[in-house]
Structure formats: C-alpha cells, structure tokens
Amino acid sequence: MTEPTGAAVDPGPGSLGERANQALLALADRADRKKTEAERSAITTACNRAEKFAARLAACARIGAQLESLDVEYVRPRVPQPAVKAIPYLRRVATQAADPGQELTERLRGGAVQGALEAAETIAKLLEQALIRAADAERARVTPADFGRPIPNMPGHESLQARISRIKASLSRPFVGSIDDVPATLERWRRDAAQWDDVRDEIGKLLAELPLEIKAFVEAAASDSGAPWSMVTPAVREWLDNDRRGDGYGVRKW
C-alpha cells in the first residue's frame, strides 16, 4: 500500500534568514523615518515659536520708534537676567542645528531651549506692556481737564451731540487691540482732545443764545441731579413743546 504524498509547500523567494534580514532592514528604515519625522517636528515647532517671538520683538521696536517720533515718552523695561542669557543661547542652538552630529531633537525639546523660548516671550510681553502703558499715559495727558463736566443736551443739534458722545467714548477707554494700532490710536486721541474745545465752544454759543430762564433749565438738566420740576416754567414748557425739543429730555422720580 502506498502512502499518499502531500503537496510541497513553496517557501517563496529567498531563505528564511534572507527574509528576516529584509524585515530588519525595513524596521530600521522605518525607525530612521520616525527619527527624521521627530526631528522635523521638533525643528518646526521650535522655529515657529522663535519666528513668532521675533516678529513680536520687531513690532515692538518699530512701534517704539514711532512713539518717539510722536514725542511720546516710552520707558523700555528692564529685562530679567535669565532672558538676557537666553538670546545668545538660542543663536548658538540655531548655529548648531546644521551639525549632523548633534542630537538636535532632544536639545530642542530640552529645558534649556524651551526656557530660552519662554524668556523670549517674556521680553516681548514686557515690551508690549510698556508700549501700552505709554499709550495710556498719553491718553491721560491729552484728555481735557474739564472732560468730566456735564455737557448740556441741545435739542435740534443731534450731530453736535453725536460728536460729543464719540469723543467721550474715545478718550474714556484705555487702549485695547493689536500693538500695531498704538500709533494710530494715539493720533486719534490727540485729534479728539483738540476737537473737545471746539464742541465746548459751540455748546457755549448755543447756550448764550437762549433766554436766561431756559439756559438755566438746560444746564441743570445736564447735571447728575437733573433739573427740578420747579424749573419747568411756562416759558421752558413752551420751548420744550416747540420743534419737539422735549423729546430729548426725560422725567424721573426719586
């Protein structure tokens, strides 16, 4: 009786050792690719952060020069000593980045480089804060001394009232926005402060044209306490009723 013979198994091209060696080479190639990707990621992350801080520092230098040209005092902050040392360290790391013998990934992710990048961010933040303080100090300087005094509401002169409201809103708000907007905001504050005297003069001329009884009512109505009802005399009531002037006033009860 003849035993059945099984079909031969084709091991495929190459011996088992050869295939194992190919697998090891593939794994090594994959490890090299992962290392390369890790290095590329570390370099990209560090470069992006460094470029962002460099752009902020350059903007601060540019805005600082513009403030000086506008005769605005700008006090540069004292930079902490660790931050001072960080700049040459970052330069040294950047120079060594081209050296293939350097273990760049670990160096970029290490505490020294990360600390240096944080120090650069600290410098940028201190400079930006100093510029904003200088801007707000200039706003306080140009704000008229009588800015807090109430201004009478003159019915029929809504455009004048709108100008007054806009100037008040502008000079009452501290600076908020991008550091690049500081010079333009300073110039707007100066224009608004210069216009304040003009609108004050216009209001004064309009008040001077009113009868004394009505002038007293209008000025009292603009105060925090308002005009008492006793000031609404027949002459005042007639003035309020004409041309719908009374629409600009309200009555309140304490």
Which mean pLDDT values do the consecutive 10-residue runs of the chain (254 residues) have? 44 47 53 62 72 83 91 80 61 57 58 70 88 94 85 78 87 91 95 89 88 88 83 88 76 67
State the angle between helix axes of 182-208 and 16-69 in degrees (0 to 180), rounded to the nearest 10.
40
Q: What is the structure's pLDDT at 139?
A: 94
Q: What is the pTM of this model?
A: 0.65
pLDDT at 164: 86
pLDDT for 251 equals: 72
Nearest to 248 by CA among 155, 181, 165, 129: 155
Nearest to 82 by CA among 70, 90, 73, 74: 90
Question: How confident is the model at residue 186, as a pLDDT?
Answer: 95
Is the separation of the CB atoms in 63 and 133 below 8 Å? no
**What are 101's two structure tokens?**
């013998």
Query: How many whole angstroms separate alpha carbon 15 and alpha carbon 176?
Result: 73
- Check residue 74 and give its pLDDT: 82
Tokens for 138, please give them. Answer: 């200039």
Distance CA 161, CA 119 (A): 49
If one counts every other C-beta atom within 10 angstroms of the C-beta of residue 251, the result is: 9
Helical pair 182-208 and 212-221, crossing angle rounded to 10 deg: 150
Buried-exposed string 158-169: b where 16+ CB fall within 10 A, e elsewhere: eebbebbeebbe
pLDDT at 109: 59
Q: Which amino acid is at 31?
A: A
Question: What does DSSP assign to residue 3?
Answer: P
pLDDT at res. 3: 45
**Residue 109 parent element (H or E):** helix 104-109
> Minimal CA–CA distance to 131: which of 94, 181, 173?
181
Angle at 15 between CA 10 and CA 20, to 5 degrees: 120
Token couple for 124? 């940028």
CA 24 to CA 13: how far, in whole Å?
17
What's the CA gap between 190 and 230, in Å, rounded?
41
pLDDT of residue 19: 45
CB-count burial class (<10 Å; 0-12, 13-18, 19+) for 226: middle
Q: Tell me which residue of 120, 195, 113, 86 sits closest to 151, measured CA to CA.
A: 195
